[in-house]
Structure 1
């Protein structure tokens, strides 16, 4: 990227929490709007239903009253004429006025033009009958014929009642149609709002996940030591600031890696000079150029020469450790007998143990396994060297190798003070030296146990630290078919 920060056209809020709040509001807003619209539609439908039912009930009640009044009016007219009773005639007149008032009420309530027209005709007919009766008088012979015409009024009023009752059915049908339309509208809104909310959620999920994924990738690159790739985060200001801090950490790790590599190169170079002198001196002694050697002196010279070769390999390993990750080194699995490797290591430890009177107690079982021979040699050599270093003079170093199911258990113990409780969490950290000082001419570097643990983990095993005296137990898979 050459240090140039490319900006994307996406405009982020300054804060991650503001972006989260905006996404929540925009995702909920369509649903809230749909809910409010539905509430208004349902309330409108409810009001319409209430009003329609109320008006229909009033119309039906008024037309029923008109029909009942017409029936009573017919009966009162005929009885008043037949019986010639003034009280019955007065009742007829009251019913007439009531019929007129009820007709006016029906006319005011009825929404149907045809019903109002028929009602007007019915009212005119009734008025003509009443006028005729009033003109001829109740005692006239024509009054009875005129009163029979009230049957037309009664039939007309009943017809109006039936037609008004049909209004309720019409209103119910209208309400059902309105309910179906409202339901269809609600479904349509639902199908429209759900995709909108879905796309809003997906969009803001992308906006939220994008910078988080960039941060996660940056952390993964740091963990996997891919330090050449710049960490860039695009998003809210606080997340971009976090990305800049991660990139600062990457640059710091690059600087530390360079310092470590430089340190390893310098240390390795400084070690090679005395190592060369040691190798040359041991070779001259082994070839007896400086004079003949006794048999015991020849054994000591061979041990010195072997240790100088081991030291050379350790320096080379130290360089490799600085150049590449240890876990990336190839593992060469091969069939072997761990007891044989243990005996070769024990022979190399004869001189330092004899100098301090330390005895080696071997309890080694013979069994085959498939593992990396060089890594296993380094594991056992480091553990035994560590046990010898921390053993008291005249102490005993115990080594136990046994098969335990599908794994091999390697246990190394000494009679030293062991690992202090406050050192147990850091004993395998590189360059960490515990509070207990070991014996020996060479001061501990603090990387032996770190290298040992790396080899154990690379072989798929684990290493445990015992309590009390010095005790380390390594479990490695047999890898046998």
Structure 2
């Protein structure tokens, strides 16, 4: 079922579920409170009717007694009519109590009506019996009042009990709604989290170099669509890596033959086959042999399908002498700077630093070749290095034409090359890009600085504390 639903649908369903469960509980609570309010109003009206009926009956009984006694003494017809009207009013008030009268009240109503009837039928001379009947009438009315008060208190107790019961039900509904909402939220989280977690693991494996993974994915529709797209990306990466391998094999094969010829030629020159060499010539031939051997090693690495290791971005930090590394790199490119009669200046102490010497060597080679290439004949070439604030730094400065302001931000972009010196072809535009990439890999930076020289590139990187 989940494969037909998207993340949006699942989230919407989850939000609706989490919102509807408490809403249903609130609606149920509202109905319960409405019923309690209606019952309270009914109890209040009923209690008020009982209280009014009992009070009116007592007032009418006093009026009936007073009018009856005065009529006997004064023998006044109007007083007798008043007494008769009072007795009828007592009957009406008592009859009004009967429809919803509590237990025992109906008996008092019958007794009150009986006493009123007997008082009306009692002959005038029977004074003592009349006094006794009036006392009994008042006692019945008082007893009736007590019964009604007890019934009202019982109703109030029942109403309070109903309120407490509804309060308990409301608490139960609230806790049940909260538990249901939490369970639903947890279920929705698991439905979304577990597929994402599995997909995240596979993406991490893909980033780590694993290929042709199983991208079949359970879960929402858009997650399955993303899995299919990642599977296509996986296949595309496999194709690109195969193309890269074929490319490196082809390039290395094309380079192997001329490099072998160069190496053999330098060996013959070094052995004196073409004639004896003087010391300077032998030194230059040695530089050629060393560089040719380095290139052959890299070509052999490519042929062994070791291009990934040759171009590795993994760091191998260790202690090395930056000063000696600079000296070696200057010697390796000695024919280039000697051809322009450049005056070298190497400034810095011969101390140990911590870093990846292979990455630093590549950066130095690129900076040196650029500096030599753009330096005019008989110019100075300055190399400085040192430490500052826990960072190692080195600078390569030349006195060539410099870098125009309008292209300062472009020289580190891939495949972008500035104006070439007179008589030379433009560069590939990858040297400074690779150099800055290696610097950033070491958590460092490569910058073009403003200085007294025409162009001054500064490399700096932090030294790991545990290896210093």
State the TM-score, normalized to the length of structure 2: 0.89
- The answer on whether the counterparts of 2:417 and 2:426 sit within 8 Å (CA) in structure 1 is no
User: What are the Cα deviations for residues 318-362 of structure 1, in whole angstroms up to 9, with x where unaligned?
Assistant: 66762348557561513x321121122222222112223444333
Q: Distance in 1 between matches of 2:373 and 2:218?
A: 54
User: What are the Cα deviations for residues 90-123 of structure 1, in whole angstroms up to 9, with x where unaligned?
Assistant: 221221111111111122342x131112211221
2:102 is the counterpart of 1:117: no
Partner of 2:390: 406
2:458 is the counterpart of 1:473: yes
Q: Distance in 2 between matches of 1:326 and 1:37?
A: 70
Partner of 2:447: 464
Given candidates 115, 133, 145, the residue that maps to 1:161 is 145
Change in 2 beyond 3 A, CA 1:54/1:295: same
After superposition, the CA RMSD in angstroms is 2.8
User: What are the Cα deviations for residues 116-163 of structure 1, in whole angstroms up to 9, with x where unaligned?
Assistant: 12211221121112122xxx2xxx422464244111111111211122
Q: Distance in 1 between matches of 2:401 and 2:204?
A: 42
The alpha-carbon deviation at position 73 of structure 1 amounts to 1.6
- The answer on whether the counterparts of 1:423 and 1:435 sit within 8 Å (CA) in structure 2 is no
The alpha-carbon deviation at position 284 of structure 1 amounts to 1.2
Partner of 1:339: 323
Name whichever of 294-303 and 466-475 sits farther off: 466-475
Name whichever of 288-297 and 465-474 sits farther off: 465-474
Which secondary structure does the structure 2 equivalent of 1:362 belong to? strand
The alpha-carbon deviation at position 451 of structure 1 amounts to 4.2
The alpha-carbon deviation at position 259 of structure 1 amounts to 0.8
Change in 2 beyond 3 A, CA 1:330/1:109: closer
Name whichever of 435-444 and 145-154 sits farther off: 435-444
Partner of 2:134: 150
Which secondary structure does the structure 1 equivalent of 2:347 belong to? strand
Name whichever of 415-424 and 24-33 sits farther off: 415-424
- The answer on whether the counterparts of 1:364 and 1:400 sit within 8 Å (CA) in structure 2 is yes
The alpha-carbon deviation at position 245 of structure 1 amounts to 1.4
Q: Distance in 1 between matches of 2:299 and 2:405?
A: 30
Which secondary structure does the structure 2 equivalent of 1:398 belong to? strand
The alpha-carbon deviation at position 282 of structure 1 amounts to 0.8
Name whichever of 69-78 and 319-328 sits farther off: 319-328
2:71 is the counterpart of 1:80: yes
The alpha-carbon deviation at position 65 of structure 1 amounts to 0.9
Partner of 1:5: none
Partner of 1:99: 90
The number of equivalent residue pairs is 462
User: What are the Cα deviations for residues 304-329 of structure 1, in whole angstroms up to 9, with x where unaligned?
Assistant: 22222332344356667623485575
Q: Distance in 2 between matches of 1:216 and 1:117?
A: 84
Partner of 2:336: 352
Question: Aligned ranges for residues 246-265 of structure 1 at < 5 Å?
Answer: 246-265=230-249
Change in 2 beyond 3 A, CA 1:19/1:265: same
- The answer on whether the counterparts of 1:327 and 1:458 sit within 8 Å (CA) in structure 2 is no
Partner of 2:226: 242
Change in 2 beyond 3 A, CA 1:29/1:238: same
- The answer on whether the counterparts of 2:2 and 2:221 sit within 8 Å (CA) in structure 1 is no
Partner of 1:7: none
2:302 is the counterpart of 1:311: no
- The answer on whether the counterparts of 1:418 and 1:467 sit within 8 Å (CA) in structure 2 is no
Partner of 2:176: 192
Partner of 2:42: 51
Task: Provide structure 2 residue ranges, at least 5 long, that are not aligned to the other structure.
Answer: none
Q: Distance in 2 between matches of 1:42 and 1:230?
A: 58
Q: Distance in 2 between matches of 1:440 and 1:408?
A: 36
Question: Aligned ranges for residues 315-334 of structure 1 at < 5 Å?
Answer: 315=299, 322-324=307-309, 329=314, 331=316, 333-334=318-319
Which secondary structure does the structure 1 equivalent of 2:55 belong to? helix
The alpha-carbon deviation at position 393 of structure 1 amounts to 4.7
Change in 2 beyond 3 A, CA 1:256/1:329: same
